[in-house]
Amino acid sequence: MIIALSLIGGLTAIAFSAFLAFRVLKEDEGTERMREIAEAVRIGAKSYLKQQYKLVAISFGVIFLIMLILAANGLMEFPAPFLFVLGGFLSALSGYIGMTMATNASARTANAAMKSLNSALRVAFSAGAVMGLVVVGLAVIGIGVSFKILEWTFGSDKLELITITLLNFGMGASFAALFARVGGGIFTKGADVGADLVGKVEAGIPEDDPRNPATIADNVGDN
């Protein structure tokens, strides 16, 4: 019963996040110049994620093989490596959806701000809620399904073993999130410092001016 409720709750969160996403995407992106800058940020964000997720995939592959060897030698439960990868995949998927939503909402929020502060707040809040709901929804669904599979594998009386094995799901999710957090922080700080040095100091261009290419990279990091 509890597992069923968790799945219903997770699916409800995903469905509502989809509703909010479609509502945000219906908003106007503004002028041609705003669309051009927003598209440049989107392209940069996708390029960054592509490179980062390549490194994440390699790291997960190595750790998965190590865990698989340990499981084959009886040093950990066999489902553990797969739960680790599942947690990492869902975490990375959440990050991709969040980045996509953020880069699609930026120009729409700026355009809505020209009408009223309330309109801009609604667009920005809805876009942020998509990320939050997706993270919670995928986590609840992933944990619920994993718990049920482990219950079938070990038996319903092995709750301690199920719980300990299920921790690998959280480890995988946290590991992927750590890559995104640390990598994103390094990227945005490098772009920010570079934009300030080249733009403000050398060229005399104001901060966050779109004429400075590093400003686009800075906005990619912020997203």
Q: How far is it, in rounded angstroms, from Cα 63 to Cα 53?
A: 15
Instruction: Quote the radius of gyration of the chain (alpha carbons, Å).
Output: 21
- pLDDT, residue 75, reads 87
How many C-beta atoms lie closer than 10 Å to residue 181's C-beta? 12
- pLDDT, residue 213, reads 65
Per-residue pLDDT band for 14 (boundaries 50, 70, 90) equals very high
- pLDDT, residue 108, reads 92
Q: Indicate whether 106 pLDDT > 90.
A: no
Q: How far is it, in rounded angstroms, from Cα 57 to Cα 176?
A: 9
Q: How far is it, in rounded angstroms, from Cα 217 to Cα 49?
A: 13
- SS3 for 91-135 is HHHHHHHHHHHHHHHHHHHHHHHCCCHHHHHHHHHHHHHHHHHHH
- pLDDT, residue 193, reads 64
Percent of the chain with pLDDT over 90: 41
Per-residue pLDDT band for 199 (boundaries 50, 70, 90) equals low
Mean pLDDT across 151-177? 89
Q: How far is it, in rounded angstroms, from Cα 67 to Cα 139?
A: 22
Highest mean pLDDT among 83-92, 110-119, 157-166, 188-197: 83-92
Q: How far is it, in rounded angstroms, from Cα 98 to Cα 44?
A: 15
- pLDDT, residue 63, reads 95
Q: Which two tokens stand for residue 58?
A: 């390699």
Select from 105, 95, 104 the least CA-distant residue to 131: 95
